Chains A and B, each alone.
Chain A
Amino acid sequence: MAAEKNKQFDPTSVLHEIEEKFEMFQILNEDGKIVNKESDPKLSDEDLTELMERMVYTRILDQRSIALNRQGRLGFYAPTAGQEASQLASHFALEKDDFILPGYRDVPQLIFHGLPLHMAFLWSRGHFLGSEIPEGLNIFPPQIIIGAQYVQAAGVALGFQKRGTKSVVMTYTGDGGTSQGDFYEGLNFAGAFRSPAIFVVQNNQFAISTPREVQTAAKTLAQKGIAAGIPSILVDGMDPLAVYAATKDARERAVNGEGPTLIETMCYRYGPHTMAGDDPTRYRTSDIDNEWEKRDPIVRFRTYLEGKKLWNEEKENEVIERAKQEIKDAIKQADQAPKQKVTDFLKIMYAGDMPYNLQEQFDIYTEKESK
């Protein structure tokens, strides 16, 4: 028996020992109770309320975006409901100068970092003005190539490190994205350079129809950080306080020169993968949906804040009404964007002078557009 012969070195037990170390970090349980007092980030009342407002706002934004998509008033849209704690509490730990390299589902973080809402809508529709990033806003447009944002984050982090700024870069991918080569290369480069990056894996259980178990035999995704030699943590992604605390901690270590961190947020997307025809009933049962809805980040945070007399129905309705109004205004503003012309596209292809071929085509299309 092999196990008998190799008592001194038993790879299976090494693996299990490692896996056991990745326990789920939680502060606020499903009933809205603090279960981990010593880790409580002790946010001010103001911050707690602000975070709740952002989460409620984003839930409404998701509902409205799905409706607007169905009406044909939005284009590409990847639903976010269920991931509010994972997306917004992680972002809440950032500073204004920090850089975000989002995936295609990470539009809410960009909005709260400063991207005007109507631009997010223009991006969804497929209009170049949606990506005309305002001066001083440290973001990249949502990345469609899964994993590319990870290697780029390693570069931004090295840039910050070389500049000596006390800023970090944060990037997001999903559970499926951890199977990409760029995912590993990104972690490994940031680790090798000890640069200030925070890598977030939002494990929402499914990559389109493929369950997370089909991506890897690894018990957690957080443990993939070990391959890069960087600290990693598995967090309850439906718990805003745990997500915030983990990110805040990662940020602090990053700006102190201690290198990157990998954060796995265990969360769920209630909606389909995207609004482009994905039907989750093909691969998910309502039992799973119900199970996760019990862990809803907004429900548990609401209970917690109500207990602290920081939240009530009136406040929530105020946020909902404000969100609806702002969404309405932003859609109107997006409607006013001028139609895109080929000459617009030619103009933004290169920094500086147009190469001869574009100049020639510019002249041809200028004439065509003048008719």
Chain B
Amino acid sequence: MAQLTMIQAITDAMRTELKNDENVLVFGEDVGKNGGVFRATEGLQKEFGEERVFDTPLAESGIGGLAIGLALTGYRPVMELQFFGFLFEVMDSVSGQAARMSFRSAGKLKAPITIRSPFGGGVATPEMHADSLEGLVAAQPGLKVVIPSTPYDAKGLLISAIKDDNPVIFLEHMKLYRSFRQEVPEEEYTIPLGKADVKREGTDLSIITYGAMVQESLKAAEALEKDGHSVEVVDLRTIQPLDVETIIASVEKTNRAIVVQEAQRQAGIAANVVSEIMERAVLSLEAPVLRVTAPDTIYPFAQGENTWLPKADDIVATAKKVLEF
């Protein structure tokens, strides 16, 4: 066991799979010699060679096409989009092509592609770097969408993503890359995709969340505990498909819930979670399910991040509304 940051855990997952499966290829802009703009692929090219870990021309759409073509010849591409705001350049390869591979070939072709990409606010990036666009890909049948919030989850989920025979979008929150360390096993282990994790148990309110909002929710839970409220924090980990079972079990226990996301109110996946709860557990609810989200504007200019991004205080305020409904 070693104390790793999330970025180290991600590198470790890729190293593990490059070692275990010769069909795994890692590529993207500056992932080779440079080791990635965040050092996610640090040392991998040196260890596995330019045939396995390589740089590409600067063209996201081309990278997506490359991944699909490599999958057609039996490889397991792990492609990187330098920032998820650049998704729009490659939306066809992702949603129009890879997601439909199995379906359009009646199950004969597959796209075991993992798309890694950093996103998320709080680190004062320039335009189109931090946007939370997971809602766009979560709406596309054929994809799975994974967003880890801890080093341990990141490694296990990334290994599962790489081993999955379907295209998986693996979104890495930039603020979580190096914000804390955690014990991460050295060997290969997997965490099933589509399974949430209860990060804190409680009986009065469920906070259902993902990404950087998991840490904010845990902070909020602590503050609420001081006021005598027992709060459960459910980290979705996979936002498509949702782990409905865990969500509903938690809501049926606490009878109150809020959904917390960093994305704008009209984006993200919070509305999906609310709908699932309404359809499956309305009789358990003692209050409406409220959402904590960012406002419905374009992602803010860097100096406006602090006032724009949802944080623990907002979560506490919304939680109290639900608790005191």
Q: Which residues of A contact B (CB under 8 A)?
A: 99, 128-129, 131-133, 140-141, 145, 148, 150-160, 162-163, 169, 181-182, 185-186, 188-189, 192, 345, 347-352, 355-358
B48 to chain A, nearest CB (A): 13
* New A-B pairs, 20, CB < 8 Å, besides A154-B65, A159-B75, A349-B142: A129-B106, A131-B106, A132-B106, A141-B104, A148-B93, A151-B69, A151-B93, A153-B69, A155-B67, A155-B68, A185-B57, A188-B59, A351-B107, A351-B112, A352-B164, A352-B166, A355-B194, A356-B241, A356-B244, A357-B241
Contacts of B172-215 to chain A: CB distance below 8 A: 194
Select one of A129, A133, A160, A357 contacting B73, CB under 8 A. A160
C-alpha spacing A140/B104, complex, angstroms: 10
A-B CB contact pairs (8 Å), 24 listed: A131-B106, A133-B105, A140-B72, A145-B92, A145-B97, A151-B64, A152-B68, A152-B72, A159-B70, A162-B51, A162-B70, A182-B62, A185-B57, A185-B62, A185-B65, A186-B65, A188-B57, A345-B103, A348-B103, A350-B102, A351-B102, A351-B112, A356-B243, A356-B245
Q: Are B72 and A148 in contact (CB under 8 A)?
A: no
A227 to chain B, nearest CB (A): 12
Q: Which residues of B contact A358 (CB under 8 A)?
A: 241
C-alpha spacing A140/B98, complex, angstroms: 13
With both beta carbons as reference points, the residue of chain A lying nearest to B74 in the complex is identified as: A159
Once A155-B70, A189-B56 are accepted as A-B contacts, the answer to whether A349 and B103 lie under 8 Å apart by CB is yes
Q: Are B72 and A156 in contact (CB under 8 A)?
A: yes
B61 within 8 A of A: yes
C-alpha spacing A140/B51, complex, angstroms: 25
A348 to chain B, nearest CB (A): 4
Q: Are B72 and A155 in contact (CB under 8 A)?
A: yes
Q: Which residues of B contact A192 (CB under 8 A)?
A: 56-57
C-alpha spacing A319/B68, complex, angstroms: 38
Number of contacting residues on B, CB 8 A?
46
A103 to chain B, nearest CB (A): 14
A138 to chain B, nearest CB (A): 9
Q: Which residues of A contact B110 (CB under 8 A)?
A: 351
Q: Are B108 and A132 in contact (CB under 8 A)?
A: yes
Q: Are B104 and A131 in contact (CB under 8 A)?
A: yes
Q: Are B106 and A159 in contact (CB under 8 A)?
A: no
Contacts of B70-125 to chain A: CB distance below 8 A: 70-75, 92-93, 96-97, 102-110, 112
Q: Are A140 and B65 in contact (CB under 8 A)?
A: no
Select one of B75, B92, B106, B194 contacting A348, CB under 8 A. B106
B107 to chain A, nearest CB (A): 4
A230 to chain B, nearest CB (A): 13
C-alpha spacing A153/B244, complex, angstroms: 39
Q: Are A189 and B107 in contact (CB under 8 A)?
A: no
Q: Are A152 and B74 in contact (CB under 8 A)?
A: no
B52 to chain A, nearest CB (A): 9
Q: How many A-B residue pairs have CB under 8 A?
A: 142
Does more than half of chain A's interface fall in helix, strand or loop, or is it mixed?
helix
Q: Which residues of B contact A (CB under 8 A)?
A: 25, 51, 56-57, 59, 61-62, 64-75, 92-93, 96-97, 102-110, 112, 141-142, 144, 164-166, 194, 240-245
Q: Which residues of B contact A182 (CB under 8 A)?
A: 61-62, 65, 92
B173 to chain A, nearest CB (A): 23
C-alpha spacing A348/B99, complex, angstroms: 12
Select one of A181, A189, A351 contacting B165, CB under 8 A. A351
Q: Which residues of B contact A155 (CB under 8 A)?
A: 65-73
B40 to chain A, nearest CB (A): 22
Give the residue among B93, B164, B243, B244 with the most A Cβ atoms within 10 A: B93
Q: Are B62 and A186 in contact (CB under 8 A)?
A: yes
Q: Which residues of A contact B241 (CB under 8 A)?
A: 355-358
C-alpha spacing A145/B70, complex, angstroms: 19
Give the residue among A148, A150, A151, A345 with the most B Cβ atoms within 10 A: A151
Q: Which residues of A contact B102 (CB under 8 A)?
A: 348-351
Q: Which residues of B contact A128 (CB under 8 A)?
A: 103, 106
Q: Which residues of B contact A345 (CB under 8 A)?
A: 103
Q: Are A158 and B104 in contact (CB under 8 A)?
A: no
Select one of A185, A186, A355 contacting B144, CB under 8 A. A355
Q: Are A347 and B92 in contact (CB under 8 A)?
A: no
Q: Are A158 and B66 in contact (CB under 8 A)?
A: yes
Q: Which residues of A contact B243 (CB under 8 A)?
A: 356
B189 to chain A, nearest CB (A): 19
Which 4 pairs across A and B sit closest by C-beta, in order of nearness?
A: A155-B69, A151-B65, A159-B73, A351-B165
Once A151-B65, A356-B241 are accepted as A-B contacts, the answer to whether A185 and B59 lie under 8 Å apart by CB is yes
Q: Are A156 and B73 in contact (CB under 8 A)?
A: yes
Q: Are B69 and A169 in contact (CB under 8 A)?
A: yes
C-alpha spacing A287/B93, complex, angstroms: 41
Q: Are A181 and B61 in contact (CB under 8 A)?
A: yes
C-alpha spacing A351/B165, complex, angstroms: 6
A129 to chain B, nearest CB (A): 6
Q: Are A347 and B194 in contact (CB under 8 A)?
A: no
A313 to chain B, nearest CB (A): 42
Q: Are A351 and B59 in contact (CB under 8 A)?
A: no
C-alpha spacing A352/B141, complex, angstroms: 15
With both beta carbons as reference points, the residue of chain B lying nearest to A197 in the complex is identified as: B69
Q: Are B69 and A158 in contact (CB under 8 A)?
A: yes
With both beta carbons as reference points, the residue of chain B lying nearest to A144 in the complex is identified as: B96
Q: Are A189 and B65 in contact (CB under 8 A)?
A: yes
With both beta carbons as reference points, the residue of chain A lying nearest to B110 in the complex is identified as: A351
Q: Which residues of B contact A129 (CB under 8 A)?
A: 106
Q: Which residues of B contact A148 (CB under 8 A)?
A: 65, 92-93, 96-97
Q: Which residues of B contact A153 (CB under 8 A)?
A: 65, 69
Q: Which residues of B contact A154 (CB under 8 A)?
A: 62, 65-66, 69
B270 to chain A, nearest CB (A): 17
With both beta carbons as reference points, the residue of chain B lying nearest to A119 in the complex is identified as: B106
C-alpha spacing A162/B243, complex, angstroms: 39
C-alpha spacing A356/B97, complex, angstroms: 23
Select one of A99, A150, A349, A352 contacting B65, CB under 8 A. A150
C-alpha spacing A131/B65, complex, angstroms: 20
Select one of B69, B97, B244, B245 contacting A157, CB under 8 A. B69
C-alpha spacing A368/B166, complex, angstroms: 28
Once A155-B67, A350-B166 are accepted as A-B contacts, the answer to whether A163 and B106 lie under 8 Å apart by CB is no
Q: Which residues of B contact A132 (CB under 8 A)?
A: 105-108
